[in-house]
Amino acid sequence: MKFVFASHNKGKIQEVQEILAPFGIEIEPIPADFPEIEENGTSFEENAKIKARAVCQATGLPAVADDSGLTVDALDGFPGIHSARWAGPEANDHDRNQLLLEKLLSVPEEQRGAQFVCVAACVFPDGRELAVRGQCRGTILGEEHGSGGFGYDPVFCVPEYGCTFGELASDVKNSISHRARAFTALGSALRTLLQEGE
């Protein structure tokens, strides 16, 4: 099974390839010159489907996309669907982390709950669509720890492991993360769907 994955993010592509490989699912990234897809949905589900539909329509191939982000309790779920863009178009991962930490400066440790959310969507050329959600609870630390992963990983602490996503080994992260949970559910659903069609 081969799908086009609506992402240029190398870290995300590798992560998703590792998660889906056991299901016999191969993904290839969209071409480097693929135009930017406008994510104008109001939820993770809508944005994931917008991206998958655009890639499926442009390539004529089954497409997979995800929309993910960090929702922080003390910020009423912000940055949420704006996680990648709220710090400005030129901001990098470190800039976004620093801005988040500044916003939480006066928030005590016990009120720094947060969760990573990921919705993975798949769209087939025949119009079939599928979307699944994965979540992972944690807390936001006061500074970055670890150089692994990407995005908000260095500030997101997983209590049961006592460390951040940025410090976890990739195989452990890929078994517990929001993206792991969403894409594992998607892989399972796709395998069932395709077996039914045989």
Catalytic residues: 67
Give the neighbor-by-neighbor strand order of the sheet with 156-158.
Answer: 26-29, 2-5, 63-72, 113-123, 129-140, 156-158, 163-164
Spatial CA neighbour of 66 closest among 114, 115, 29 = 29
Token pair, residue 135, equals 């979540």
Terminal-to-terminal C-alpha distance of the chain: 13
Give CA–CA dist 15/174, Å, rounded.
7
Give CA–CA dist 97/46, Å, rounded.
25
Spatial CA neighbour of 29 closest among 49, 43, 15 = 15
